[in-house]
Structure 1
């Protein structure tokens, strides 16, 4: 089962991931909310739309903008609606 690991914590785990451009998108409901902090960062992808980011924080350690998601994905990216992906120091294990 794919899982996302950060700072020795499993922060998401699901058999229901969607792989887009090499990134596993996990259902948002599988993400540990207790390690998340809001971020004001946004980026734009021409085919997916505007991405929003979340910062991970736990036990005095943080990873700024390590989680991203598309709150309102464009039609061609509907498969990532209500899903999150990871980068930076988050490892996704298949």
Structure 2
């Protein structure tokens, strides 16, 4: 089961992930929302759309823009709309 951790704290875990471009996208109900805060960062992907970001805070340590999601994905990426992906260089991802 894909699992995301930071310093041993589980941030997300699910058997219902979608894989796109080598990234696991976790369903919104699979993340532990206690560790997430909204970021003002946004980026654009030509085929997925406008991405929004989350900061992750564990034991007082904030990791800026550790995760992203597409609140309104373009048609070709609808299967990941609202799903959350993580930067591998900021958290630990195991499958």
Q: TM range, normalised to the smaller chain?
A: over 0.9
Q: Distance in 1 between matches of 2:58 and 2:43?
A: 25
Unaligned runs of 5+ in 1: none
CA RMSD of aligned residues (A): 0.8
TM-fit CA distance, 1:82: 2.3
Q: Distance in 1 between matches of 2:18 and 2:93?
A: 13
Q: Check whether the contact 2:37–2:57 (CA below 8 A) recurs between aligned residues.
A: yes
Q: Distance in 1 between matches of 2:26 and 2:73?
A: 15
Q: Distance in 2 between matches of 1:71 and 1:7?
A: 28
TM-score norm. by structure 2 comes to: 0.95
Aligned residue-pair number: 94
Unaligned runs of 5+ in 2: none
Moved runs in structure 1, 4+ residues, more than 6 A? Answer: none
Q: Distance in 2 between matches of 1:61 and 1:4?
A: 16
Q: Secondary structure at the match of 1:66?
A: strand
Q: Which range is displaced more, 18-27 or 5-14?
A: 5-14
